[in-house]
Structure formats: structure tokens, C-alpha cells
Structure 1
Amino acid sequence: MKKSQIVLVIASVVAVVLLFVFGKVTAPKSAANQAPMAQQDAGAPPAIHFADILQKARQQLTPEQNQRVLSLENAVTRGDVKDQQIHVYHQLARFWKDSAHVFEPYAYYMAQAAKLENSEKSLTFAAQLFVDNLLTENNPAMQHWLAENAKDLLDKALVLNPNNDSSKIGLGACYMFGNISDNPMQGILPVREIAQKDSNNLYAQMVLGLGGKKSGQLDKAIERFQFIVRKDPHNLEAIFQLAETYDMHGDKANAIHWYETAKNMINNDAIKKEIDKRINELK
């Protein structure tokens, strides 16, 4: 199962679907194999260009779908009125989301529309598409592409509202996970400040927990995920992350417990099968 083609991540249950269905459920890397974040992301990944993403995506379309996309793309080029261009970008986004089920063009065209609209709501919505996918992406080059797109949108949103903590956290995640800086503290510090100011900001706690997991600071990551689950017992994403972090830590009993907890909250036989497979590997 591959993760290259996904639909919109909205709720935590969908985030878990991404982790299980679009990325095969296998044993996570142990802490011993985790390099510190700054070392892990050292070096610029190869550049990904949207033209290449689009060309590959179009290879999956039927002739009729390709003709539809070409017609819409030409309409963008011809459109000389901003509202008309926004409308066409939304049409392109809906096509890639609803008809083709390919995430990257969907997010890209939502971003193009948001930049023209230039409202905080549209910019942050489009940015969150990239950030949500960034948090579950493993390919360094794709991480970079997602983070650069999210950062562009969040920078614009923060000009409109410099006090939006969610935008600041999303921007921090871009630096932490997106290979766009050789100094991940550039992203960690603002998120940590928000979490210290408001410990109940579960978005900040999640990003910091994922950062700890990535850098091999598993005890700290577990503390963050446990805090989220105490505050929100139905947060499926945090429960899964807790299971996988215990798994990485070598704590099989707790890993099995939290995998079982996640499984009991999911109504999807394919996902449950993948979870059972990992549980049986741990026994």
C-alpha cells in the first residue's frame, strides 16, 4: 500500500487511515536508528517540481479525464479576472480530490486559489492540507515540497493575523519536519513557547510529540501523547502515535495495549487487519 495518493485529512481518524492504509503498517524504526533531528535532515533533498507531479498524476487519468483537466487548465490561462481564476482553481482542486483521488494536485490548486483570495481562512485551510500530509510523509524530497508550500501560505496568513497560534504551530512543523532549514530549533522554539503558554493547546502538544518521536526522544514524545489522550480520550491519532512510540521504545506490552485501543475505535476491516498483523508480530 502506498501513500502517494490520498484524500483530504480532516479528522484524526483520517490521519490514522493515512498511517495505516497509505503507508504499510510495519515495525517502526527503533530509537537506536533515529538520528538527532538536525543530523537526520542534513543536506538538501532533491527538488520536486509540481510540473513533474502533475505529469505523473495525469498518466493515471482516462482520455476523457485528461481532456477535462486540459480544458480547465486552459480556462485558468485565459481567465483575466481574479474571481474567474479562483473559480477554475477550485474546479481543478475538486477534480483531483473527488474524481482522480490524487492529493498533491488537489492541495496545489487549493493553494493557488487561496493565494488569490488572500483571506486568512482560505490560506490557513490550504496550508493545513500540506501540514497534515507533511506529518505523515517519509520521503525527504516530498517533505520539502509539502513544507515549502505550507510555509508560503502560512507566511501570508500570519501577515493578516500575526497572533494566530495555529498558524505559528503549522509554520514550526514546516521547519521541524520539512527539511527547509538546518536548524530545527527555528521551528521547535515557537511551538514550545505556545505549549508553555497554553498547555491545553493539543495541536502544539502533538507537533512537539512528533518532533520528539522523530529525534529519538521517545520518553518525551510518550509524555506528550499521553497528555493529549488524557485531555481527549477519543483522539485516535494520539492513541496511534502512542502505540507506535512505545513500539519504537521496545515496550511491547504498552504498544500492544495502545494498538488494541486504536483498533477498537476503528470501523474498517482492512485497517484492523493491519493492526492485528503488527500486534501478532509483537507477541
Structure 2
Amino acid sequence: MLKTRIILFISAAVLVAIIFTLPKVVVDNEENAVPNKTTSGTSHAEPTPTEIDTDNIAHGQAVPADIQKKIDNLKIDYSNSSNIEKSVIFADSLAELYLSINKYDSAAKFVEIIAENIPNEKNWERAGNTYYDAFGFAMDPQKRAYLGEKAREYFLKVMEKTPSNLDVKNKLAMTYLSTSNPMKGIGMLREIIEQDPKNEKAMFNLGVLSMQSNQYNKAVEHFSKLVKTYPNNTQAQFFLGVSYLETGNKDKAKEQFELVKTLDDDPEVQATADSYLEDIR
């Protein structure tokens, strides 16, 4: 019930649902780990074939007929394109069409085409971000692992060029959570906090991971620090309330859920906060 309500509250952050399906890891115990090595292939017009067909990763809705027609026509144009410049233009149009209907997995394949044919930091980050979004929506473990690996491949390229890109490092860290070495991701989040003690995303991610491993006292610590600096972070305020409730501090939990109701008037948020307040009463 707890996970269901959390997922309903963070309807846009599907990665939270994935985090709660991962094996529990102890966030306090950081282990030494060897970085995953990812090698990139040579530039080409098509993505490297894999055993995972990401076109079959459904996100819950059919493609509208008018959009499908545009996609079909663009795929024909792409197949018939005579040079890389035209291929990239058609690939970009296809990616944007797929993104418009939340088909992140399909979009990622075409963004990858751009990144492989025009290899630069901007395109690598775009490819990583698109695969990361697809990773966030994939519920099948095998597909999630594949998409996380692809996101990691491009994020690592960005980090080699710009190690100071903490936004990318945050996402890179989260991709390790679906691998056999989740502690590497946790270690990276801690590195971010060392570099930037007020990094909102890293604080949030560490808080959620503490919840996932049932370390609610630690979660209270992370989220309390976060909301002190970012009081309008509704997700953090909500999770702080859940963490207080799980530690038995109902008074503080009640305060948090009432605060959440003042921060966001979205009906789903209101209903979720009310459901917790009902339990407390």
C-alpha cells in the first residue's frame, strides 16, 4: 500500500517505482567497486542491433493514426536518404515524434543515430537523457538493464569530457542501481554531495534509496536537509512525511502531509496526502 501511494503521488517520476523493485542495499555501507567499462562502437547510420527490441516496450498507449502515418513516411525518407546530413534530419524528426507520444525507447534509437553520426558532447548527453527516460519507464528487468546500459554508455562519454557535469553524474549514478553493483551508484551520489553539499537531486536520490532499503531514520536525515534548502520541493516534503510515519513519528508526519497539501493543489497529490492523514487519525 505504501509503495502504491508513493507511485501515485510521483506519477511523473516512474523511476521511483523501479527503485522500490530493486534488491535492498544498505546505503550506509559503501563498498569499493571497479567502474563498469563501456565501449562505444564506430559511427554508423543505424544503432547497433541488440537482442532487446525496444519497439516492443509499450508505455500503455497506442500510437495515434495521424502520428503513425508521419512516422511511416519519415522512416521511408530516412531509409532513402542519400547522405548523413539528411539521415540525421529525418532521425531527429522521428525522435521528436516518438517523444511527443512518450515513446522514449523508440525515440532513443533515433537520438542515438544522431549521436553516432555527429559525435559531440551535446548529442551524447541528449542520447543519454533519452535512454535514461526510457529506462525510467521500463518495468521489465531485462529491458530496464539494457536501457540503463545504453544511458550509461553516453553519460560516461559526457563525463569524460566534462567531469563537473553533476546533472549527468546524478543520472549516471541511478543507472547503476539496476546492475549487480548498486553501491557504485550510491558512491557516486556521495561524491556529488562532497562536491556540492546542496545538490538537490543527489540529496533526493539518497533519501529515496534510504527508504528503499528501509533506513527511514537515514531518509529523514536526507530529506530534512533537502527541504531546509529547497522548501518548495513537494516530492521531498512528501517523502519526509512518509519517512517520519515509518519511524513512528506521527505528529511530524501529519505536519508534513498537511504542508504538502498547501504546496500542490493537484487532485492526485491532495488525495494521496489525505489518505495518509486518514491513516494517522
TM-score, structure 1 normalization: 0.71
Q: Deviations over 1:105-157 (max 9, x none)?
A: 34444444344443323332443455467568765445424422320220221
Aligned to 1:168: 169
* Among candidates 88, 91, 100, match of residue 89 of structure 1: 91
Following superposition, the deviation at residue 230 of structure 1 comes to 0.8
**Structure 1 stretches of 4+ moved >6 Å:** 15-18, 135-138
> How do 1:159-238 residues align onto structure 2 when only pairs under 5 Å count?
159-175=160-176, 177=177, 179-180=178-179, 182-238=180-236
* Among candidates 12, 22, 25, match of residue 36 of structure 1: 25
Aligned to 2:106: 105
Q: Deviations over 1:235-261 (max 9, x none)?
A: 223223323333444443333332332
TM-score, structure 2 normalization: 0.71
Distance of aligned partners of 1:173 and 1:257 in 2 relative to their CA distance in 1, 3 Å threshold = same
* Stretch moving more, 87-96 or 138-147: 138-147
Once residues 136 and 253 of structure 1 are traced to their aligned partners in structure 2, the CA distance between those partners, rounded to angstroms, is 35
Distance of aligned partners of 1:282 and 1:72 in 2 relative to their CA distance in 1, 3 Å threshold = farther
Once residues 240 and 130 of structure 1 are traced to their aligned partners in structure 2, the CA distance between those partners, rounded to angstroms, is 28
Gaps of 5+ in 1: 1-14, 39-46
Following superposition, the deviation at residue 49 of structure 1 comes to 3.0
Following superposition, the deviation at residue 18 of structure 1 comes to 6.9
Aligned to 1:41: none
Q: Which has the higher contact order (CA 8 A, sep 6+)?
A: 1
Once residues 280 and 137 of structure 2 are traced to their aligned partners in structure 1, the CA distance between those partners, rounded to angstroms, is 22
Identity of aligned residues (%): 22
Q: Is 1:52 the counterpart of 2:56 in the alignment?
A: yes
Aligned to 1:120: 121
* Stretch moving more, 128-137 or 272-281: 128-137
Q: Secondary structure at the match of 1:216?
A: coil
Distance of aligned partners of 1:163 and 1:101 in 2 relative to their CA distance in 1, 3 Å threshold = closer
Paired residues, what number?
Answer: 250
* Among candidates 7, 10, 13, match of residue 19 of structure 1: 10
Distance of aligned partners of 1:198 and 1:59 in 2 relative to their CA distance in 1, 3 Å threshold = closer
Asked whether the equivalents of residues 20 and 274 of structure 1 are also in contact (C-alpha less than 8 Å), the reply is: no
Aligned to 1:6: none
Letter in 2 for 1:65: I
Larger Rg: 2
Q: Secondary structure at the match of 1:199?
A: coil
Letter in 1 for 2:81: G
Q: Secondary structure at the match of 1:264?
A: helix
Aligned to 1:42: none
Distance of aligned partners of 1:102 and 1:274 in 2 relative to their CA distance in 1, 3 Å threshold = farther
Aligned to 2:74: 72
Letter in 2 for 1:219: N
Q: Secondary structure at the match of 1:242?
A: helix
CA RMSD of aligned residues (A): 3.7
